[in-house]
Amino acid sequence: AQKITQTQPGMFVQEKEAVTLDCTYDTSDQSYGLFWYKQPSSGEMIFLIYQGSYDEQNATEGRYSLNFQKARKSANLVISASQLGDSAMYFCAIKDTGRRALTFGSGTRLQVQP
Amino acid sequence: GAVVSQHPSRVICKSGTSVKIECRSLDFQATTMFWYRQFPKQSLMLMATSNEGSKATYEQGVEKDKFLINHASLTLSTLTVTSAHPEDSSFYICSAGDLELEKLFFGSGTQLSVL
């Protein structure tokens, strides 16, 4: 069984600063993918970044980067230069080859303060 | 990027009625679609996996007869909430994947309110 743990129910960050959202995972599969999604108040799920378990380099997408530490089973999301529009719920998710759907963590609500 | 269209975005219905939610992949063929439910301030919970041309696979605890899923084509899956009750009020969101399921795209969600 897979499990995603997000230990931060809520986070505050000042505009223009960087913030790290924590995510740890548990899976028995050797091949898996880790995802981060942003969910604004409108409800849509916006894909941010993906990291494959065999990727040697940390994934980056613009202001988003994923700090992947495989031995620790962690996949933290780093948002640099926070903007007011970054205020939203952020979900970490995992997909392995056995289970085709995503398993989501409980989410972290990020609030960017001016 | 690929787009998944879901509608309606919001529906209010009376208890006992049925509600159909559509999920369409607009520019790719989705052999598999997933239906999730999200209660307020909670995470997304997988309800069922919809496979084109075959029966859906439901997660434990999800009533097959209450949540009817049809995936009749490679671009359309529907979720019908039958005989809806107030406890079915929730945010329902679909996602669709390509053949290899390397990328999953989400619809914009449907907020269901049962009075």
Cβ separation A101–B46 shorter than 8 A: yes
- Residue numbers in chain A where pLDDT is lower than 50: none
pLDDT for res B102:
61
pLDDT for res B39:
92
pLDDT for res B54:
84
Please report, in tens digits, the pLDDT of each residue of chain B (115 residues total).
568 999 999 999 999 999 999 999 998 888 889 999 999 889 999 999 988 888 899 999 999 999 999 988 889 999 999 999 999 999 999 998 765 556 688 999 999 999 9
Q: How far is B31 from chain A (nearest CA, A)?
A: 12
Nearest to A104 among B43, B91, B101 (CB): B43
Q: CB neighbours of B20 closer than 8 A, spacing ≥ 6?
A: B78, B79, B80, B81
How crowded is the C-beta side of B6, counted as CA atoms within 13 Å? 28
pLDDT for res A96:
75
Cβ separation B43–A37 shorter than 8 A: no
Q: How far is A38 from chain B (nearest CA, A)?
A: 11
pLDDT for res B2:
63
**Chain A residues within 8 A of B49 when measuring between CB atoms:** 100-101
| B44: nearest Cα among A85, A45, A28 | A45
Tens of pLDDT, residues B42-70: 999 999 998 888 889 999 999 999 999 99
| A93: nearest Cα among A52, A37, A42 | A37
